[in-house]
């Protein structure tokens, strides 16, 4: 196990991720706040709502406010902003004034239905909102040193700890929408309070026990219990779960919480369940982009190999939750496979959720899109090919904002005499490595290029290990130390270089990035006879803006020769892939719907593929990820 290098000790440079973090700071966080304020969410804690007034508070609102505070708090530690800090202090004052004497705090229940407190954990998100508020309070304390928000949330956590459990007079319940498990682990780390660690473990271990709490709760409300509770991951206890089930955001939050509890409790049985679920997700239920949650119906995982493209859901929050799960598994055991998936999701299915200017957000991330096509959404029609500025269910915008604001905490880790580099980005960091204060920097054009240079500016006095992740996509590599080629030892996907380091030492890692054709498992019926293009960590797709309409009429040539061309999309320089292909001549069908095989005609075309995360930045046009092959 290792500790991530604190996000406050990591500074991004001018590279790709640094630019995304800058856009997040300058565009996404302010945009989220504007909408949070305009929709009434920001004023909910004033408790000024009266029956019949609009907007009516919603059960999710507290979480939306909390995630924005968390995002802003991460940023305040890197770039102080007195105006933003004053806004948050005002929100904290509202919360402190609204908090009930026993510590309870929820703007929806306190105003709209005060007699329903803790009556419907399955659906009503009380504990979910509490968890997000706790995470925000920890981030604000870490970012500014101010304790007022933290103290408010400790009082709320104490209230929850008194309420839930298996003791006399307690409710043996747990959240319908998981999140508080992660938050309590953070709260424990920030305060040292053991009760919060035990409460996190309780919520993980109690889930799915019999009699099922959600069924008993429904009976008390006079409702008929549901037949299954897979959608809330409450169908069986955590240790018996082996497949990813139900609502994909809830699920991945829960799995991340399981991994956190397994680590802090040294619970090997729980860790084993995490590994089983991880294998099921990454080997049978994950898109090539790292997307998860394939079904519109229930926003959920379905069955093995069911990965439709045009109707894929892949909610942005679910991809973020998968990053959380991967990062927790990585802390549990330093294996590159976890960082590989973290990277895959981050560069593809997470980044696709936000426009390049940072102002617009996808809720749904399809893997094929046709504007005139039929798209089923049980909650009604929505724009998919053009990212909206805001959503009625606004979980994704603030979630994206907080992830990118905290991104520095995902890059590096230290454990004893080992310094791990998980993700490659131009940056500098300070840490304690092998018991000594150290500094290092990374320069790279990743993810568009595979040249990575690490400079060690302050090093341990004794021998220490530098562990460089070799991505799973890398077919070969070359590593130099001060210009001389070295071998190193490969341990769980990390190239480990051990030596007595000197200040000024430079390590150069070269990862060739050829274009590869990727095929899916034959059980993925949606992709049979098709290929996806991948270069390094980036999955590519085809847009009508480059290739014209009717993308399914395109066929990739056999044994194609790929060429890279530098261009700009929405002002961002990017290498696009050019490849030879064919386009079927639809006009030659003369109005026929069917005819014998072999009568069709094609003509040669040049195909252009762009990184998947960049699609839908040039208007509402077709997109296709899996292309027919000759």
Spell out the domains of the chain, with CATH numbers in brackets: 3-368+389-410 (1.50.10), 412-510 (2.60.40), 518-629 (no CATH)
83-102 per-position pLDDT tens digit: 999 999 999 999 999 999 99
Q: What is the mean pLDDT of residues 394-399?
A: 93
pLDDT band at 378 (very low <50, low <70, confident <90, very high): very low
pLDDT band at 2 (very low <50, low <70, confident <90, very high): confident
44-86 per-position pLDDT tens digit: 999 999 999 999 999 999 999 999 999 999 999 999 999 999 9
- Measured in residues, the chain has a length of 630
Q: With a cut of 60, say whether residue 493 has pLDDT above it.
A: yes
C-alpha gyration radius of the chain: 25
136-148 per-position pLDDT tens digit: 999 999 999 999 9
Strands 464-469 and 451-458: unpaired
Q: Which residues contact 70 (CB under 8 A, 6 or more apart)?
A: 132, 135, 136, 139, 140, 398, 402, 405, 406
The tokens describing 289, both together, are 């982009």
Taking a C-beta distance cutoff of 8 angstroms, is the pair 341, 291 a contact? no
With CA atoms as reference, report the closest residue to 506 among 423, 552, 449, 442: 442
Longest dimension (CA), the chain: 79
365/361 Cα distance (integer angstroms): 10
Q: With a cut of 90, say whether residue 593 has pLDDT above it.
A: yes
Specify the residue for token string 């309409």.
549
260-308 per-position pLDDT tens digit: 999 999 999 999 999 999 999 999 999 999 999 999 888 999 999 999 9
Q: What is the DSSP string of 194-243?
A: HHHHHHHHHHHHHTTPSSPHHHHHHHHTT-PPPS--GGGT-SS-GGG--S
The tokens describing 437, both together, are 């204060």
With CA atoms as reference, report the closest residue to 557 among 591, 577, 583: 583
pTM over 0.85: yes
Taking a C-beta distance cutoff of 8 angstroms, is the pair 521, 473 a contact? no
Q: With a cut of 60, say whether residue 381 has pLDDT above it.
A: no
Q: In the prediction, which pLDDT does 422 show?
A: 98
> What's the gap between Cα 121 and its chain centre?
25
Q: What is the mean pLDDT of residues 471-475?
A: 96
Taking a C-beta distance cutoff of 8 angstroms, is the pair 622, 549 a contact? yes
Q: What is the mean pLDDT of residues 487-492?
A: 94
Alpha helices in 3-125 (DSSP H): 16-23, 29-38, 61-78, 82-98, 107-111, 121-124
76/19 Cα distance (integer angstroms): 17
The angle subtended at Cα 295 by Cα 375 and Cα 177, nearest 5°, is 125
448/153 Cα distance (integer angstroms): 42
Q: How many helices (H) and strands (E) does the chain have?
A: 17, 23
Q: What is the mean pLDDT of residues 130-134?
A: 98
Q: With a cut of 50, say whether residue 342 has pLDDT above it.
A: yes
pLDDT band at 212 (very low <50, low <70, confident <90, very high): very high
18/620 Cα distance (integer angstroms): 28
Specify the residue for token string 């994206």.
400
> What integer best gives the mean pLDDT of the chain?
95
With CA atoms as reference, report the closest residue to 213 among 254, 239, 176: 176
Q: With a cut of 80, say whether residue 255 has pLDDT above it.
A: yes
630/627 Cα distance (integer angstroms): 10
pLDDT band at 590 (very low <50, low <70, confident <90, very high): confident
Specify the residue for token string 């860790």.
271
Taking a C-beta distance cutoff of 8 angstroms, is the pair 34, 97 a contact? no
Query: Virtual CA dihedral for 549, 554, 556, 557, nearest 10 degrees?
Result: -120
Give the three-class secondary structure for 478.
Answer: strand
Strand arrangement of the beta sheet that strand 3-4 belongs to: 3-4, 412-415, 418-421, 464-469, 494-499, 489-491
Q: Which residues contact 211 (CB under 8 A, 6 or more apart)?
A: none
With CA atoms as reference, report the closest residue to 296 among 316, 315, 282: 315
With CA atoms as reference, report the closest residue to 551 among 308, 305, 288, 310: 310
Dihedral pair phi/psi, residue 42, rounded to 5°:
-65, -20
Q: In the prediction, which pLDDT does 249 show?
A: 97
In the DSSP assignment, the letter for residue 25 is I
| CA dist 109 → 62, 71, 119, 178, 282 (Å) | 11, 25, 11, 19, 38
372: enclosing H helix or E strand: none
pLDDT band at 384 (very low <50, low <70, confident <90, very high): low
Q: What is the mean pLDDT of residues 518-543?
A: 98
Q: Which residues contact 26 (CB under 8 A, 6 or more apart)?
A: 358
Q: In the prediction, which pLDDT does 385 show?
A: 64
- Give the whole-number percent of the chain exceeding pLDDT 70: 98
| CA dist 167 → 162, 250, 532, 604 (Å) | 9, 27, 54, 73
Q: With a cut of 80, say whether residue 372 has pLDDT above it.
A: no
The tokens describing 393, both together, are 């269910």
Q: In the prediction, which pLDDT does 373 show?
A: 54
With CA atoms as reference, report the closest residue to 464 among 439, 433, 438: 433
Q: With a cut of 50, say whether residue 348 has pLDDT above it.
A: yes
Strand arrangement of the beta sheet that strand 451-458 belongs to: 10-12, 427-433, 436-444, 451-458, 506-510, 478-481, 484-485
Q: With a cut of 90, say whether residue 392 has pLDDT above it.
A: no
331/323 Cα distance (integer angstroms): 12
How many other β-carbons are positioned within 10 Å of the β-carbon of residue 316?
Answer: 28
Q: In the prediction, which pLDDT does 386 show?
A: 76
273/277 Cα distance (integer angstroms): 6
The tokens describing 294, both together, are 């394939």
pLDDT band at 374 (very low <50, low <70, confident <90, very high): very low
pLDDT band at 376 (very low <50, low <70, confident <90, very high): very low
Q: With a cut of 80, say whether residue 190 has pLDDT above it.
A: yes
Q: With a cut of 70, say whether residue 380 has pLDDT above it.
A: no
Q: With a cut of 80, say whether residue 382 has pLDDT above it.
A: no
Helix, strand, coil percentages (3-state) for the chain, rounded to 5, are 40, 20, 40
Q: What is the DSSP string of 554-622?
A: EEEPSSPPPEEEEEEETTEEEEEEEEEEEEE-GGGGTT-S---TT---EEEEEEEEEEGGGTTSSSS--
Strands 602-611 and 572-584: antiparallel
Q: List the catalytic residues.
A: 299, 395
């Amino acid at each position: 196990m290792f500790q991530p290098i604190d996000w406050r000790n990591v500074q991004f440079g001018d590279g790709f991720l640094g630019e995304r973090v800058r856009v997040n700071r300058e565009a996404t966080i302010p945009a989220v706040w504007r909408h949070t304020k305009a929709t009434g969410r920001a004023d909910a804690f004033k408790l000024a709502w009266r029956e019949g007034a609009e907007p009516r508070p919603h059960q999710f609102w507290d979480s939306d406010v909390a995630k924005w505070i968390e995002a802003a708090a991460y940023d305040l530690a890197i770039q102080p902003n007195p105006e933003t800090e004053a806004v948050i202090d005002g929100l904290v004052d509202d919360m402190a004034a609204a908090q009930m004497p026993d510590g309870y705090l929820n703007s929806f229940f306190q105003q709209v239905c005060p007699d329903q407190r803790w009556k419907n954990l399955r659906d009503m998100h009380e504990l979910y909102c509490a968890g997000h508020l706790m995470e925000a309070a920890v981030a604000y304390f870490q970012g500014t040193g101010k304790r007022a928000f933290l103290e408010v949330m400790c009082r709320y956590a104490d209230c929850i700890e008194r309420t839930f459990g298996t003791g006399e007079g307690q409710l043996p319940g747990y959240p319908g929408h998981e999140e508080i498990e992660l938050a309590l682990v953070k709260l424990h780390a920030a305060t040292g309070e053991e009760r919060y660690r035990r409460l996190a473990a309780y919520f993980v271990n109690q889930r799915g026990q019999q009699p099922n709490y959600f069924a008993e709760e429904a009976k008390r409300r006079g409702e008929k219990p549901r037949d299954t509770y897979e959608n809330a991951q409450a169908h069986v206890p955590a240790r018996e779960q082996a497949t990813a089930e139900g609502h994909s955001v809830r699920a991945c939050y829960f799995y991340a919480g399981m991994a956190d509890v397994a680590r802090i409790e040294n619970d090997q049985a729980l860790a084993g369940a995490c590994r089983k679920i991880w294998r099921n997700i990454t080997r049978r239920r994950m898109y090539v982009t790292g997307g998860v949650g394939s079904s519109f119906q229930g926003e959920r995982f379905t069955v093995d190999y069911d990965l439709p493209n045009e109707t894929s859901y892949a909610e942005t929050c679910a991809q973020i939750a998968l990053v959380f799960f991967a990062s927790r598994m990585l802390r549990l055991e330093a294996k590159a496979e976890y960082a590989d998936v973290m990277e895959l999701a981050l560069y593809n299915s997470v980044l696709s959720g936000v426009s390049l200017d940072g102002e617009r957000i996808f809720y749904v991330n399809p893997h094929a899109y046709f504007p005139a096509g039929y798209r089923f959404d049980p909650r009604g029609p929505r724009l998919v090919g053009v990212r909206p500025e805001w959503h009625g269910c606004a979980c994704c915008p603030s979630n994206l904002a907080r992830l990118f604001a905290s991104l520095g905490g995902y890059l590096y880790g230290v454990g004893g005499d080992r310094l791990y580099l998980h993700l490659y980005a131009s940056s500098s960091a300070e840490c304690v490595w092998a018991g000594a204060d150290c500094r290092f920097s990374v320069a790279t054009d990743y993810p568009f290029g595979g040249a990575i240079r690490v400079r060690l500016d302050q090093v341990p006095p004794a021998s220490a290990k530098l562990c460089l992740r070799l991505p799973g996509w890398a077919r070969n590599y070359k590593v130099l130390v001060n210009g001389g080629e070295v071998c190193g030892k490969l341990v769980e996907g990390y190239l480990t270089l051990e030596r007595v380091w000197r200040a000024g030492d430079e390590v150069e890692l070269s990862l060739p990035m050829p274009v590869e054709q990727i095929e899916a498992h034959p059980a993925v019926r949606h992709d049979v006879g098709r290929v996806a293009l991948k270069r390094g960590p980036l999955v590519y797709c085809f847009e009508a803006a480059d290739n014209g309409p009717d993308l399914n009429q395109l066929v990739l040539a056999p044994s194609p020769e790929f060429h890279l061309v530098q261009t700009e999309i929405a002002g961002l320089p990017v290498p696009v892939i050019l490849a030879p292909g064919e386009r079927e001549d639809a006009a030659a069908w003369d109005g026929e719907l069917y005819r014998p095989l072999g009568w069709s005609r094609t003509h040669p075309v040049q195909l252009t593929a762009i990184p998947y995360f960049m699609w839908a930045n040039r208007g509402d046009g077709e997109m296709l990820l899996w292309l027919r092959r000759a």
